[in-house]
């Protein structure tokens, strides 16, 4: 698989003049803002005897790791199953007003990777905050091919779980500048940071993280833990389950549907990790 990277960490934030107000003074200062721009994900696939390209989704994201985002989105939504399904991922030339081609990514699928376009067109419209848009039935939201997670494998101590946020924060370069990004991180079964991605969209941060592992042929991630900087919504837990991740830990609260999904697939789900405390909503056997 060929993945063309065009990521530049220096372009992930911009400076802005702001007035900082305190109880004693108002001061004009320079602040940093996280960049938010639309990304169009296009897919080229074989239809009959002809290869066609169609637009699959538009998501608001922080530029950077766009190819990983596209791969992670297709993988976590069940459009593709293996890295060999992708021939290449490239940033297109400047089209429809895109700036330097950075806002369009095309994923070329192998001939064997069939796409159910009518189904995708009914169900896929992505934004950085949309998610499942009010759907409440697990059956309506199923991604084919998700399997229950074995009970054996990853185990972490309470102390290791409480240290995850600090370890992730130490590697969040853009968050330190802007304070305006979500983050998703992968940790090993020893509690060591493996990788982290940042984005204005929670779903995008997870897709970028999973896309990097997927394109490297490392899925399923049966010995990894997913840490989320915010709440654990259904769609984020679902993405983790597609990748075979046995444990999801979040700074914020999980939703009821996220807990239901964790129980359905045998995943450990932990929320409210702060001040050396946390809540286990399911899968306590993986916490020592």
Active site residues: 130
Q: List the structure tokens of 15.
A: 């400076």
User: How far is it, in rounded angstroms, from Cα 189 to Cα 59?
Assistant: 32
User: How far is it, in rounded angstroms, from Cα 267 to Cα 245?
Assistant: 8
User: How far is it, in rounded angstroms, from Cα 193 to Cα 247?
Assistant: 14
User: How far is it, in rounded angstroms, from Cα 12 to Cα 8?
Assistant: 7
Number of Cβ within a 10 Å radius of residue 169: 14
Tokens 């983050």 map to which residue? 183
User: How far is it, in rounded angstroms, from Cα 247 to Cα 253?
Assistant: 15
Q: List the structure tokens of 85.
A: 């399904």
């Amino acid at each position: 698989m060929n993945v063309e990277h065009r990521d530049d960490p220096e372009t992930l934030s911009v400076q802005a003049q702001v007035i900082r107000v305190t109880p004693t003074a108002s001061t004009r200062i320079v602040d940093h803002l996280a960049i938010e721009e639309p990304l169009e994900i296009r897919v080229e696939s074989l239809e009959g005897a002809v290869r066609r390209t169609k637009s699959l989704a538009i998501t608001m994201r922080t530029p950077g790791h766009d190819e990983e985002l596209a791969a992670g989105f297709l993988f976590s939504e069940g459009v593709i199953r293996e890295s060999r399904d992708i021939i290449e991922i490239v940033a297109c030339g400047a089209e429809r007003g895109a700036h330097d081609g950075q806002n369009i990514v095309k994923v070329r699928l192998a001939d064997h990777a069939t796409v159910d376009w009518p189904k995708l067109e009914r169900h896929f419209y992505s934004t950085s905050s949309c998610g499942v848009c009010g759907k409440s039935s697990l059956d309506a939201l199923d991604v084919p091919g998700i399997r229950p997670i074995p009970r054996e494998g990853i185990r972490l101590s309470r102390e290791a779980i409480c240290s995850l946020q600090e370890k992730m924060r130490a590697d969040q370069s853009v968050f330190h500048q802007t304070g305006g990004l979500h983050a998703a991180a992968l940790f090993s079964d020893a509690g060591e940071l493996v990788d982290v991605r940042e984005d204005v969209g929670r779903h995008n941060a997870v897709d970028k993280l999973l896309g990097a592992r997927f394109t490297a042929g490392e899925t399923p991630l049966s010995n990894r833990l997913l840490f989320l900087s915010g709440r654990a919504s259904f769609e984020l837990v679902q993405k983790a389950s597609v990748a075979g991740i046995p444990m999801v830990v979040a700074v914020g609260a999980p939703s009821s549907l996220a807990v239901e999904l964790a129980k359905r697939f045998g995943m450990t789900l932990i929320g409210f990790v702060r001040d050396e405390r946390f809540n286990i909503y399911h899968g306590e056997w993986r916490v020592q």
